[in-house]
Chains A and B, each alone.
Chain A
Amino acid sequence: MSDHTEHRWVTPFNAVAAMIMGVAAVILFLRFTQGLSATTNLTHDYPWGLWIGFDVMSGVALAAGGFTMSAAVYLFGMKEYKPVVRPALLTAFLGYSLVVVGLLVDLGRPWRLPFPFFRQAGPTSALFEVALCVGLYLNVLFIESTPLALEWLGFKKLRKIVASLTIALTVFGVILSTMHQSSLGALFAITPTKLHPLWYSEHIPVHFFVSAVAAGISMVLVESALSHKVFHHLAETPPEQMDKITIGLAKGGAVVLATYFAIKVVDLSLGDKWHYLGTGWGAWYLVELLGFVGLPCILYLIGFRERMPRLIRWTALWTVIGIMLNRFNVSFIAFNWQLETRYVPHWMEIWVSVALVTGGIVVFRWIASRMPVLYEHPEYKGMH
């Protein structure tokens, strides 16, 4: 199929992407020659800003679609979702790669990234756990995504070996994802005095894990809606079947969001935090809980019951924004709530984050327009 697609280099999309990346390159040059202070608004009180809150915390959560979908199809036997597994795994792989790139930009001495594994480990650190799992999971996702390239290149033997590893890789991926998605929350388990009580919880790792599943499902919906719009000539799955998948995912999304809502409310009760709801922080918390967890849950429910794929797709986008808002709240908005100083990201921080997302989209486009992502390779149909 890809042979029929013409690959033109000068397109409006490529021009905008090149502009974004070009400016980002200049910013990165500044960052690595002048230090973090030249390009960020980070302070001693706010050592973690947008590059952690968005690039790492949100990036990992939004890439949860990979393990969610592969577990659903390969472990739980929900075969009807198979058409979205490949794009989800590819999105996850690119997402995690961008997380690592974002981390390298944020680290003070990025060339020491291998230190925790090869020099000296700090096993008491939740961040060590995250680093270990993200490192391993990146490899798992890489192997899980290789069939695209192997089918494209026609390496049949290797393709067969990878296929025989599917179940083992999926199990390992689910283990690693459970661990690091929750450990990202555990990063803040050690800041009971700095993070606002409404967001701080001894169960914050569980909150992070459950919300990551919701984010993963929603991201699969957003991603498949976009890619089927852009690559409708490549997509093999007929729109009616895509709508069916969308409606099925909405059901899952509704259940996960309802669970997330419930455990958040349980935490209010366990920690006797009801009285905080009456404060300004409480209002902001309710915006997040009701507006970005409760509301999308109900919208998913309506979308599923009334068979409204369009509503479901917009709800998915809303959920993705909501989970990002949660990560922002935890990592810098409701963090240091007792301090008077606040952190507002520098425009260069925002620019670099936008450039990362752009880079991800460019690579996804490049791969999806050449390799069998949205369709099954004719020679490998029905395999796995």
Chain B
Amino acid sequence: MSVSRRKFLQGMAAGGATVLTAGAAKASSIKHFDGHPGRFGLLHDTTLCVGCRSCEKACGEVNADSLKQVAAVTVGDKPKVDDKKRRVTPDSLTVVNAYAVGDKVVYRKHQCMHCNEPCCASVCLVHAFEKTPEGPVLYDPDMCMGCRYCVTACPYYALSYEYDDPVTPRVMRCTMCLPRIREGKNPGCADACPTGAITFGKREDLIEVARARLKKSPDDYVDHIFGEHEFGGTSWLTLAGTSFPNVGLADGYTHTSLPEIGTGFLSVVPLVITIYPGLLAGFYAFSKRAERIGEEKAKAAVVETLMQADEETKAKLAAAAKRATKDKEQAIAAAVKKALVEAEKKAAQAAAKEGASS
């Protein structure tokens, strides 16, 4: 009975542990998130882009109300390869840059990529970013503290900050025209593009579109859709006829999302909170114990010294006593001797006197 009961308990413990660890494993690594179903995205096909900057102009017009200043854009004023590479700023949320590839010029549009797992959102300490079900990553200036960690963290250099505003500075970025999407319209840039280089649609459909293009004309494209998997994937997808580093997008980004990479270490934090009290209490007990043992040793040493001192004193006393008796005996003997000598002297003197008188 007792054996079977113990076995039962062991089974319970093992079973419980299995359930717990299985749950943990599911949560940490096996759990998978596909993102909001049916969310939107955009496809930029650099092989079709002519660098006319219609998208830049449209972007400024569509967002005019939310920008403090809109950069002046002339459609057809193409960016040059030698130009200093422009980046998105608070007054132009998208820019088209020119890249020399061989003797050809390739244009690529820069803007917020609207990551599936946005790293800007995961680094925000006031949770001012939200990945909306429609796909865009939305920023809430009413919550923002202005720490600019999001601008620091973005791997695509797609965020900018209103440094010249002392009172209400905001992080600025492409909104994927979320208000227009909610009205059922296309984003401004997609509508403005005269060559069809920008396509708006459901992200899963766009991936199919991109695949079809890669299959149809494999000679025109590098066989890769940038943004399908990079750092967990992005809403903006890019196709190119040259390797992506040539157009300012790095090769070989991991598929692991940045929030996963960046927050991995933060899991240690609750461990520190829960392990340290016991650990430090252990150190404290250890030092106290060493102190106590030290004190006890010191005490014992004192007692021993005292006892040793005691014995020595006794021995000394005994020796002294012995010496004293000896001294006394010697003194007595000496006294007796002296007395005898004196008595002899007296006797001799008396005899001499007697002899002289007779």
- The chain A residues found within 8 Å of chain B, CB to CB, are 31-38, 40, 42, 44-45, 47-48, 71, 74-77, 106-110, 112-113, 115-116, 119-122, 124-129, 131, 167, 171, 174-175, 178-179, 182-183, 186-187, 189-194, 202, 205
Contact yes or no, B263 A124, CB < 8 A: yes
Q: CB-defined interface of B154-168 with A at 8 Å, one 1/0 digit per residue?
A: 010101111111111
Known A-B contacts A108-B147, A122-B124, A175-B277; the reply to A189 vs B160 at CB < 8 A is no
- Please tell me if the beta carbons of A175 and B283 are within 8 angstroms of each other in the complex: no
Of B159, B261, B280, the residue contacting A171 (CB under 8 A) is B280
Among A45, A74, A109, A113, chain B packs the most CB atoms within 10 A around the CB of: A109
**B122: which A residues are within 8 A, CB to CB?**
124-125, 190
Closest 9 CB pairs of A and B: A108-B146, A77-B287, A190-B262, A47-B148, A128-B125, A37-B163, A122-B127, A47-B151, A108-B169
Q: Which of A74, A109, A189 is in CB contact (< 8 Å) with B262? A: A189
Min CB gap A217→B, angstroms: 18
Asked if B163 contacts A193 (CB within 8 A), the reply is: no
Q: State whether B160 touches A35 (Cβ < 8 A).
A: no
Contact A193 B165 (CB under 8 A): no
Give the residues in chain B near A109, CB-CB below 8 Å.
144-146, 167-169
Question: Which of A48, A75, A107, A183 sits near B152, CB closer than 8 Å?
Answer: A48
A71 to B144, CA, bound (A): 37
Give CA–CA (A313, B108) in the complex, Å: 56
| B97-141 residues at the A interface, CB under 8 angstroms | 119, 121-128
* A44-B89, A44-B157, A193-B253 as given contacts; A178 in contact with B166, CB under 8 Å: no
Given A45-B87, A77-B291, A125-B122, verify A115-B143 contact (CB < 8 Å).
Answer: yes
- Contact status A190-B166, CB under 8 Å: no
A97 to B70 CA separation, bound complex (whole angstroms)? 40
Which residues of the other chain, A, contact B290 by a CB distance below 8 angstroms? 77
The interface residues of chain B lying within 8 Å CB-to-CB of A122 are: 123-128
- Pairwise interchain contact B266-A47, C-beta atoms closer than 8 A: no
Contact: A35 with B163, CB < 8 Å? yes
What residues of chain A lie closer than 8 Å to B126, measured between beta carbons?
112, 115-116, 119-122
A183 touching B269 by the CB < 8 A rule? yes
Whether A76 pairs with B262 at a CB distance below 8 angstroms is no
A-B CB contact pairs (8 Å), 11 listed: A36-B164, A42-B163, A44-B89, A75-B287, A107-B147, A108-B161, A109-B144, A120-B127, A191-B153, A192-B258, A202-B261
Considering the chains assembled together, what is the distance between the CA atoms of A124 and B127 in angstroms? 9
Asked, given contacts A35-B165, A38-B164, whether A191 binds B155 with beta carbons under 8 Å apart, the answer is yes
With A32-B166, A47-B151, A47-B152 known to touch, is A190 a contact of B123 (CB < 8 Å)? yes
Point out the residues of chain B lying under 8 angstroms from A192, CB to CB: 155, 254, 258, 261
* Residues of chain B contacted by A205 (CB below 8 angstroms): 265, 268
Task: Report the tally of A-B residue pairs with Cβ distances under 8 A.
Answer: 181
Q: Assess whether B273 is in contact with A187, with CB atoms less than 8 Å apart.
A: no
Residues of A within 8 Å of B160, CB to CB, are 44
Contact A116 B266 (CB under 8 A): no
In the complex, which of the residues A35, A124, A125, A179 contacts B169, with contact meaning CB atoms closer than 8 Å? A35
Closest residue of A by beta carbon distance from B262:
A190
Which chain B positions have C-beta within 8 A of A167?
Answer: 284
Indicate whether B8 reaches chain A with its CB closer than 8 angstroms: no
Q: Cβ of A34 and Cβ of B123 under 8 Å apart?
A: no
Question: How far in angstroms is the closest Cβ of chain A from B337?
Answer: 65
A192–B153 Cα gap in the complex (Å)? Answer: 9
Given contacts A120-B128, A122-B125, A125-B123, list 18 more A-B pairs with CB under 8 A. A33-B166, A34-B164, A35-B163, A36-B169, A75-B287, A77-B284, A77-B288, A77-B291, A115-B145, A121-B127, A124-B123, A124-B259, A125-B125, A126-B123, A127-B149, A171-B277, A175-B280, A191-B155
> Which residues of B sit under 8 angstroms from A193, Cβ to Cβ?
155, 250, 253
Contact A189 B265 (CB under 8 A): yes
Q: Is B1 an interface residue (CB 8 A)?
A: no
B281 at the interface (CB under 8 A from A): yes
**Is B272 interfacial (CB-CB < 8 Å)?**
yes
State whether A44 touches B87 (Cβ < 8 A). yes
Chain B nearest Cβ from A126, distance in angstroms: 6
Most buried by B among A40, A167, A186, A190: A190
* A122–B129 alpha-carbon span in the complex (Å): 10
